[in-house]
């Protein structure tokens, strides 16, 4: 098997206008979703949330991905910043309180890893969803021979596909509002940073 470069192993062809274009010709829009503390809700509220989530899933007539990203946080830089503030303050009470805060956070970090969780919904679009736009033969070509599809987008086609993605995203926005959640579309730089972190977890 011939050696492959990193770029060949990554399935992304391009990122533009908040849309990820994959090498197989399909597109993705990624929404960052807020969270709620389910455990702090009453039993009735929990039942209502679960029922609302069920209704949300039943209202979706297209595939989607729900992704939870967990990353261990390195708080050493944060602790160092707080310590520098403590050293520079002349307020003795504030110095004592800040020192106690640093000690508490350090001990908490030593006892258990502090993890940051982020939640995403990936909205997909496949060219064969709109054969009337690109033509049935071209759509089948995209499925059977996907390598060149992403480079063949015309501006008109891209805008048509983007409109389809936006419509799907609006449906997701509406469903999540009823659950007390907020959603926003990741922009180009945020998408690049997200994929960089996914492919470089050690960093």
Residue 73 and residue 75: Cα distance in Å, rounded? 6
Per-residue model confidence (pLDDT) at position 7 = 63
Q: What is the pLDDT of residue 185?
A: 94
Q: How far is the first Cα of the chain from the last one, in angstroms, to the nearest whole number?
A: 30
Distance CA 83, CA 139 (A): 60
Q: Measured between alpha carbons, how far is 81 from 15 in angstroms, rounded to an integer?
A: 35
Distance CA 169, CA 27 (A): 13
| Domain edges within the chain | 6-71+118-199, 74-113
- Cα(112)–Cα(108) distance, integer angstroms: 6
Question: Tens digit of pLDDT per residue, the chain (203 long)?
Answer: 556 566 667 788 889 999 999 888 889 999 999 988 888 889 999 999 999 999 999 989 888 999 988 887 777 888 888 888 878 888 888 888 888 888 888 887 777 777 788 999 999 998 765 544 444 344 344 434 444 444 567 889 899 999 999 999 999 998 898 888 999 999 999 999 988 888 877 66
* Tokens of residue 174, six digits: 């509406």
**CB count in 10 Å sphere of residue 149:** 22
Specify the pLDDT at position 109.
Answer: 76
């Amino acid at each position: 098997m011939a050696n492959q470069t990193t770029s060949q192993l990554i399935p992304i062809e391009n990122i533009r206008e908040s849309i990820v274009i994959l090498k197989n010709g399909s597109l993705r829009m990624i929404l960052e979703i807020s969270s709620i503390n389910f455990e702090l809700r009453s039993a009735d509220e929990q039942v209502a949330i679960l029922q609302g989530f069920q209704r949300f899933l039943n209202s979706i007539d297209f595939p989607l991905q729900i992704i939870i990203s967990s990353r261990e946080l390195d708080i050493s830089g944060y602790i160092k910043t707080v310590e520098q503030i403590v050293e520079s303050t002349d307020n003795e009470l504030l110095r004592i309180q800040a020192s106690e805060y640093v000690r508490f956070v350090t001990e908490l970090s030593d006892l258990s890893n502090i993890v940051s969780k982020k939640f995403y919904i990936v909205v997909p679009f496949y060219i064969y969803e709109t054969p009337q736009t690109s033509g049935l033969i071209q759509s089948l070509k995209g499925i059977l021979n996907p390598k060149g599809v992403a480079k063949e987008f015309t501006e008109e086609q891209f805008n048509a596909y983007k409109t389809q993605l936006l419509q799907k995203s609006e449906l997701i926005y509406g469903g999540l509002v009823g659950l007390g959640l907020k959603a926003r579309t990741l922009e180009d730089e945020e998408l690049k940073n997200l994929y960089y972190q996914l492919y470089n977890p050690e960093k």
